[in-house]
Amino acid sequence: EPEVTQTPSHQVTQMGQEVILRCVPISNHLYFYWYRQILGQKVEFLVSFYNNEISEKSEIFDDQFSVERPDGSNFTLKIRSTKLEDSAMYFCASSETRDRGGYTFGSGTRLTVV
């Protein structure tokens, strides 16, 4: 069964540092997403990406965040200057179509900002 792969599984970074979270979506999927889950809270939508541009983004996705598809396989989330409150599990997902949901999620990257 095709998988969405995320690396690293756990990253610890110092406050103020830049981090890049990496994802390899399923190869024939065209829509890509990032979600996050702060410990004890709901899974929250960050951003969706299609055709090399952002389709939707939430209020959480401010100027500190950016996404990129640098090549044909990777999809990255960059946090420019991490804050303590960015500590969370970050999930990448991909889907074949825009509507009708039912993404495939990756296993997540646990980001800890110290």
Partner 1 sequence: AQSVSQHNHHVILSEAASLELGCNYSYGGTVNLFWYVQYPGQHLQLLLKYFSGDPLVKGIKGFEAEFIKSKFSFNLRKPSVQWSDTAEYFCALGTAGNMLTFGGGTRLMVKP
7, 8, 15, 56: residue in contact with partner 1 (rule CB under 8 A): 56
Based on the shown chain and the rule CB under 8 A, indicate whether residue 49 belongs to the binding site for partner 1: no
Please state the φ and ψ torsions of residue 98, each to the nearest 5 degrees: -80, -45
- CA-CA distance, 87 to 103, in Å (whole number)? 24
61, 103, 109, 111: residue in contact with partner 1 (rule CB under 8 A): 103
Based on the shown chain and the rule CB under 8 A, indicate whether residue 75 belongs to the binding site for partner 1: no
Based on the shown chain and the rule CB under 8 A, indicate whether residue 62 belongs to the binding site for partner 1: no
Q: In this complex, which beta carbon is closest to partner 1, that of residue 13 or of residue 105?
A: 105
Vertex 78: Cα angle to 93 and 58 (nearest 5): 60
82, 87, 95, 109: residue in contact with partner 1 (rule CB under 8 A): 95
Q: Which residue has the tokens 């959480």?
A: 60
Q: Which amino acid is at 94?
A: S
